[in-house]
Structure 1
Amino acid sequence: MKHSAIAGLFIAGALLTSPVFAADKDLCAGNLQTIKDFVTSQPSIPETSMNNVKEAQKKAEDAQAAGNDKDCVEVTSSLITKMQIRNPTRN
């Protein structure tokens, strides 16, 4: 009985953590798309700012390619926050 309870806990834990990873993957992809849309729609941004955005975008894409969705989400979320501060009229 004790062993089956422990096995059940491990299985439940695995099932509960799976959606978290899927959510990170989706959030990473969605954030990258938001950044790509921003880059294409904001041609008047100063070159140094645009370079910073593209550098962060590259870092996030590299993290995504490596399967590190958590780092991708951290980088893209930070970048989107900065973009919203600079341009509060965009969502």
Structure 2
Amino acid sequence: MKRSVLFALVGLVATPLFAADDLCTINLQKLSDYKATASTLGQPLLGQIHNARVEAQKAQAAGDTQKCISLTNKALQDVVNSQKGK
């Protein structure tokens, strides 16, 4: 019984960690997809996306998932804003 409770607690604690890592990976993929459609993005923004993606990959490799998510979220928001004309 105690072992079952322990496994359940470990699962609950570990789930957000995996979800955060997945979000970092998903965001990096979205940035790659936007880079592939470079014809719709202006050059300054394309450079910013590239730089953010490189920095986010470095953060991910260093195990700093929160930094990766922060960088990729900002870059994705910049893309959305540029498409809205902001």
- 1:52, distance to aligned residue in structure 2 (A): 1.0
Q: Does 1:79 align with 2:79?
A: no
Q: 2: CA distance between counterparts of 1:77 and 1:87? A: 15
> Structure 1 stretches (4+) deviating beyond 3 angstroms?
none
Which string of whole-angstrom CA distances, capped at 9 and with x for unpartnered residues, describes residues 7-64 of structure 1? x79x83x442211110011000000000000011122433222111111111101011
- For residue 17 of structure 2, what is the aligned residue in structure 1? 21
Structure with greater helix percent:
2
Q: Structure 2 stretches of 5 or more lacking a match? A: none
Equivalents in 2 of 1:23, 1:16: separation in Å?
11
Return the match for 1:70 from 66, 76, 85. 66
Percent of aligned pairs with the same residue? 24
How far residue 85 of structure 1 moved from its aligned partner, in angstroms, is: 1.3
Structure 1: distance between partners of 2:77 and 2:52: 13
> What is aligned with 1:42?
38
Distance 1:47 1:86 in 2: 12
Helix, strand or coil at the partner of 2:68: helix
Q: Which runs of 5+ in 1 are unaligned?
A: 1-7
Q: Over aligned residues, Cα RMSD in angstroms?
A: 2.1
On the 8 A contact 2:38/2:46 being kept in 1, the answer is no
